[in-house]
Amino acid sequence: MAMDGIALGAVIHELQPLIGGKIDKVQQPEKDLLLFVVRANNANLRLLVSTHPENGRIQLTSRSFDNPMNAPAFCMLLRRRLICGRICSIRQLGADRVCEIIILARNELFDEVSLRLIIELTGKHGNLLLLEPSGAIVDCVRRVSASNDGARILLPGFPYEAIPTQNKLDPFVAPKEAFEALFTCADPVRAMTASFDGVSKQSANALLSAAQSPAALFSLLQSMKSGNYAPCIAYHADGEPAAALPFIPANLYARVEPFSSMSEVLDRYYADRDQIVRIRRHGAALRHTVSTALSRAQNKYAAFLETIQQSEAHDTARISGELILANLHLAKPGMKELIVDDYFVDPPAKRIISLDPALTAQDNAKKQFKLYRKGKLGKAYAEGQVEGLANEIAYLEGQLENIGKCDTLYELSEIKEELIRERYLRPEKAQASKPANKSSAPMRFVSSDGIVIYVGKNNRQNDALTLQTARSENIWLHAKNIPGSHVVIDFEGEPPEQTLREAANLAAFYSQSRSSAGVPVDYTPRKYVKKPSGARPGMVIYSTNRTLYITPDTASIQQLRERAEQK
How many C-beta atoms surround the C-beta of residue 303 within 10 A? Answer: 13
- Size of the chain in residues: 567
- What's the pLDDT score for residue 68? 83
106 SS3 class: strand
Spatial separation of the C-alpha atoms in residues 140 and 65, rounded to whole Å: 21
Residues 6+ apart with CB under 8 A from 26: 34, 35, 36, 37, 75, 78, 79, 82, 83
511, 483 in Cβ contact below 8 A? yes
pLDDT at residue 214, as a whole number: 93
Characterise 228 by phi-psi region: left (phi > 0), alpha (psi -120 to 50), beta (else).
Answer: beta
Angle at 324 between CA 321 and CA 326, to 5 degrees: 110
CA atoms of 96 and 536, how far apart (whole Å) = 55
Q: How many helices (H) and strands (E) does the chain have?
A: 12, 22
Quickly list H helices, 158-213.
188-195, 201-210
155/245 Cα distance (integer angstroms): 34
- The per-residue pLDDT for 151 is 78
Chain-centre distance for alpha carbon 229: 35
On whether the CB atoms of residues 318 and 373 are closer than 8 A, the answer is: no
Nearest to 248 by CA among 201, 207, 191, 188: 207
pLDDT at 129 (0 to 100): 97
Provide the pLDDT for residue 346. 84
Q: Which residues, 6+ apart, have CB-to-CB distance to 378 below 8 Å?
A: 307
CA distance 88 to 91: 10
The whole-angstrom separation of Cα 235 and Cα 257 is 8
Residues 6+ apart with CB under 8 A from 31: 72, 141
Among candidates 359, 354, 358, which has minimal Cα distance to 340? 354
pTM score > 0.75 for this model?
A: no
Query: In tens digits, what is the pLDDT along the chain, a chain of 567 residues?
Result: 678 999 999 999 999 999 999 999 999 998 899 999 999 989 999 999 999 988 899 999 998 887 888 899 999 999 999 999 999 999 999 898 999 999 999 988 889 999 999 999 998 899 999 999 999 999 999 999 877 666 789 999 999 999 988 889 999 999 999 999 999 999 999 999 999 999 999 999 999 999 989 999 999 999 999 999 999 999 988 777 889 999 999 888 999 999 999 999 999 998 766 666 777 777 898 999 999 999 999 999 999 998 888 776 778 888 999 999 999 989 899 999 999 988 888 888 998 999 999 999 999 999 999 989 988 898 899 999 999 999 999 999 999 999 988 877 788 888 999 999 999 998 876 544 444 444 578 999 999 999 999 999 999 999 999 999 999 999 999 999 999 999 999 999 899 999 999 999 999 999 999 999 999 999 999 999 999 998 999 999 999 999 999 999 999 998 999 899 887
Closest CA to 509 of 534, 484, 539: 484
Task: List the one residue out of 237, 217, 300, 224 whose CA is nearest residue 4.
Answer: 224
Which run of H or of E encompasses 394?
helix 361-405
* H or E segment and range at residue 561: helix 554-566
Type and span of the H or E element at 446: strand 443-446
Per-residue CA distances from 175 to 172, 216, 221, 560 (Å)? 9, 12, 11, 55
Dihedral sign from CA coordinates of 129, 135, 139, 144: positive
The residue type of 466 is T
